[in-house]
A and B are shown apart, each in its own frame.
Chain A
Amino acid sequence: MTPRRNRMLSVITLLVGVSLAAVFGLRGCDDLKSYFFDPSQVVAGAVKGDQSFRLGGMVKDGSFIRVPESLDVSFVVTDFAQEVKVLYNGLLPDLFREGQGVVATGKLNQYGEFVAENILAKHDENYMPPEVADSLKQKPPETDY
C-alpha cells in the first residue's frame, strides 16, 4: 500500500470514528441507562421527579394484596430499614414470592408509591440479583425479624 493510500485509509477510519464518537456524545448517556435504588434511597429522596428507575429489595411478608379477579396487585418492597409500596397491573414472574428478592422497573406516583411496569424475580433458589444482595448486606435484618 502506498503511503498516500495509507493516509487515505487512516482518514476514513478517523472520520468514521469521530462521527461515531459524536453520535455517542450528542446522545448523552444519562437518559438511556436506568438507576437502581433501594427503599432507603427512595425514602431519602434520591429519585428526581418523574425519573424511571429500578427498585430492588425483598417483598415484605404478608404485604401482597390482589384486587380479586383482576390483575391489579400491590406489595411492599423492603430493605429492612425502609419500605416502598409497589403497584402493578399484569402477570407476575414465576418466582415472585413474599420474602424473596425482587427488582421492579417503574416510576413513583404523586403519593410516593412505585408504579411498576415490569417485575423481575430471582432466577433460582440460590440466586438473588447481586444488587439486592449488596443492599441487604449493608443493612442486615434484625435478628428477631
Chain B
Amino acid sequence: MIPELGQVALILCLMLALAQMVFGFAGAATNRANWMAVVKPAAIGQMVFATLSFATLVIAFLQDDFTVSYVANNSNTALPTLYKVAAVWGAHEGSLLLWVLVQSGWTCAVALGSGRLPQVFSSRVIATLGFVSVGFLLFILLTSNPFWRMMPGAFEGQDLNPLLQDFGLAVHPPVLYLGYIGFSVAFAFAIATMLGGDLNTQWARWTRPWTTLAWLFLTIGIALGSWWAYYELGWGGWWFWDAVENASFMPWLIGTALIHSLAVTDKRGLFKSWTLLLSILAFSLSLLGTFLVRSGVLVSVHSFASDPERGLYILIFLGVVVCSALLLYALRAHRFDEQGHFDLVSRETALLVNNVLLVSAAFVVLFGTLYPLINEGLGLPKVSVGEPWFNAYFVPLALLLMASLGIGMHTLWRVSNTNSLVRRLRWLAVVAVIAALVLPSLFFGRTAVMTVLGTAAALWVILSTASELWIRYRTNGNVRMPRAMVGMLVAHVGVALCVAGVTYTSAYSDQRDVALKAGESYTLGNYSFELQTVKQVEGPNYVAQEATVGLAYKGKSLGVLKPQKRLYRVQKSPMTESDIHARLSRDVYVALGADLGNGSYSLRLQIKPMVRFIWLGALIMALGGFLALTDRRYYLERRAVEAGSKARTA
C-alpha cells in the first residue's frame, strides 16, 4: 500500500509541476495576476508531494519490502540501517527520485524567497523550474519507476552494491545533486530575463546568491566524490578523469565562470548576454552529465547498468531544453546591449580572462569526454582518452588561470594603474618563483618542472591574497572589508591549497605492491610496514580477512593499520577496504590484496604527501562561497533597490 501512495504522490507532483509551468508562463504572457498566483502554492505542493513520495521509498527500504523490485534489487535484511537509507539513491530509479526531491526543494526555496521580485518575473522563473521538474517526473514515471512491484515478492533482497556501502556515498549524491540542480535556478532566471527582455541588470543581482549556493554545493559534492573514490574505489587515486567525474566537473567550471561574470554584470552592467549564455550552459552541462551517467554510452567506473530507452529519453529532454533555451537566446540576446567602458588593465578584463580560461577548460574536458564517442560514431579505431591527455591540455589552462588570478585580485573596476599594479606584484612574483625553485628540493630532495610551476602558482595566489590584506592594513589601519570580499579571498586561497595538494601528491607519491608473510616487513621511503597477523572477522553482511600492519616512521612506531578484504555474502563480490594513517602533511595508505598461498599476502603500500590539501582546498573554496553568500550589504542593497523601485511605482 505504501509504495502505491508514493506513486500517487509522484503523479500529483507531476500535475502540480505542469500547473506551475502552464499557469506561470501563460499568466506572465497574458499578465493575469490570478494565473500567476497559482505558481507559488503549486511549487510548495510539489515539494510536499515529492517529500512524501521520497519518504514512502525510504519506508519501503526500512521495512525491507521486497515486493518492490527496486528495494529487492538494492537492499537486504542484513544491510545496516544507514545504508538502507543511502540505498534509496544507490541506483538509477531512486537517484532520479532524489533528483526530483532536490529539484522541488530548490523550486520551493525560490518560490518562498522571491516574494519581493516582480510577479511576472518570478512566475516565469518558477514556470521554468516547473518545466524542468516535468521533464524529470515524466522520466521517472515513464521509464524508471522505483515503486514497481514484482509478484511474487522476493524472499530476500539482492543487497546494495558493496562499493556503495559507505558513508561517503551516503552523502555524496545528495550534495552533488544540490549543486547540479541548483544551476537550474540560474538557468530559470536567465530564461525569465530573456522572456521579459528587461534591459536592467537586476536579475544578475537576484541570481547571484542562488548561483553561489549551487556552486558551493557542487564544490563540496565533487570533493566528497573524490574523497570517496580515494579511499573506497580507486586504491588511492583521487581523480581519474573518468566520464562521470568529468560530468560533474564541467558544470563546476562553467558555474565558476558564471559566478565571476555575474559579478561584472551586477556591478558594471557588462557581459550581460555572456552571463545569460553561461547560465544556460551550466545547467545544460548538468543535464549532459546526467545523460552520460545514465545512458551508459561511455566507459566509466561509475556506469550504472544502462538502458538505451532511458538514454534516449534524457537525450531528447536535453535536446529540448538546450535547443529551446539557445533559440530564445539567439532571438533575444542582441537586446542586451553593452553600455559601459573599461580599460585594458581593469578588473573587467581580468574577469574576462578568467571566463575565457574557465570556459576553455570546460570545453577541453567536454572534448576529452566525448572524443571516444565521436571516434566511435565516425567508425575510427576505438580510443580512450585518459589522464595524460587531460593533464596535457587542462594543466596549462589551470596554470594560466592561477597566474591571472593573482593579478586580477589587485585590479580595480573600470581602470587600473598598470604601474602601481606592477609595483605591487613584482616582488611577490619573484618570491613565489624563487620559493618554488627551492622548496620542493628542500623537502623532497628532488624537483621537476611541473612541481616548480605548481608551487609557484599556489604561492603566487596565496602571496597575492596576503598582500591585498597587508595593503588594506597599511592604508586603513585595519583589514575590515565586505563579507563578499572576504569570501572571494578565502575561496582563492582554497584554490591555491588545492593546486598545491594536486601538485605534491602527483609528484611525490610513492607506491609499491609487495608480498609479505606474517612477521615480515617492508620499507618504503622513511616508513616501514610490518605485516603482523591476518585474521578472519565478521561484519553484518560480510566476512573479511583483516590484516594488522604495524607502521613505523624512521623506526618510531605510529600504531597499526587494519586493511580488510571483504566478501559480501549476498553479492559474493570481494571488496578492498583500505586503511589510512592520515596527517595533514601526508597519508599512508595500505590496501590488502590476495592470499598468495603459504601464509603470504599481497599488500599495496602508498605514501601520498599533501593529498588532504586537495579536499581541504575544496572545502575552503566552499567556505569562501558561503561567506560571500552571507554578505549583509548584499541583502541590504537588495532591500534598498526594492524600496527604490516601489517608490518609483508609487
Secondary structure at the A interface, as helix, strand, loop or mixed, is mixed
Q: Is the CB of B385 within 8 A of A124?
A: no
How far, in whole Å, are A144 and B334 apart by their CA atoms in the complex? 67
Q: Measured between C-beta atoms, what is the minimum distance from A129 to chain B in Å?
A: 5
Q: Is the CB of A95 within 8 A of B514?
A: no
Q: Which residues of B contact A6 (CB under 8 A)?
A: 338
Q: Could you write out 24 A-B pairs with CB less than 8 Å apart?
A: A1-B339, A2-B341, A5-B342, A8-B344, A9-B349, A9-B352, A12-B352, A12-B353, A16-B357, A24-B393, A27-B393, A29-B389, A32-B388, A34-B384, A66-B596, A68-B598, A69-B600, A91-B513, A91-B594, A91-B602, A91-B604, A94-B576, A125-B573, A127-B305
How far, in whole Å, are A5 and B339 apart by their CA atoms in the complex? 11
Residues facing A in B137-184 (CB within 8 A) are 161, 163
How far, in whole Å, are A66 and B600 apart by their CA atoms in the complex? 12
Q: Measured between C-beta atoms, what is the minimum distance from B132 to chain A in Å?
A: 29
- Selecting from B113-121, B295-303, B478-486, the interface stretch reads B295-303
In the complex, besides A1-B339, A36-B381, A36-B382, 7 extra interface pairs with C-beta distance below 8 angstroms are: A1-B338, A6-B338, A13-B352, A69-B515, A69-B517, A94-B565, A129-B299
Closest to B296 in A: A130
Q: Is the CB of A70 within 8 A of B574?
A: no
Q: How large is the interface on B (under 10, 10 to 19, 20 to 34, 35 or more residues)?
A: 35 or more
Q: Is the CB of B392 within 8 A of A27?
A: yes
How far, in whole Å, are A89 and B514 apart by their CA atoms in the complex? 10
Question: A33 near B: Cβ within 8 Å?
Answer: yes
Residues of A within 8 A of B (CB): 1-2, 5-6, 8-9, 12-13, 16-17, 20, 23-24, 27, 29, 32-37, 54, 66, 68-71, 89-92, 94-95, 120, 123-127, 129-131
Q: Which residues of B contact A123 (CB under 8 A)?
A: 163, 301-303
Q: Measured between C-beta atoms, what is the minimum distance from A73 to chain B in Å?
A: 9
Q: Measured between C-beta atoms, what is the minimum distance from B465 to chain A in Å?
A: 25
How far, in whole Å, are A105 and B623 apart by their CA atoms in the complex? 40
Known: A27-B392, A91-B593. A36 touches B353 (CB 8 A): no
Most chain B CB within a 10 A radius of its CB, from A16, A20, A120: A20
Q: Is the CB of A71 within 8 A of B597?
A: no
Closest to B604 in A: A91
Residues facing A in B325-358 (CB within 8 A) are 338-344, 349, 352-353, 356-357
Question: B396 near A: Cβ within 8 Å?
Answer: yes
Residues facing A in B440-493 (CB within 8 A) are none
How far, in whole Å, are A90 and B389 apart by their CA atoms in the complex? 25
Q: Measured between C-beta atoms, what is the minimum distance from B243 to chain A in Å?
A: 11
Q: Which residues of A contact B515 (CB under 8 A)?
A: 69-71
Top-8 shortest CB links A-B: A91-B593, A36-B382, A32-B389, A126-B305, A90-B513, A69-B600, A94-B574, A33-B383
Contact of B340 among A1, A66, A70, A129 (CB under 8 A): A1
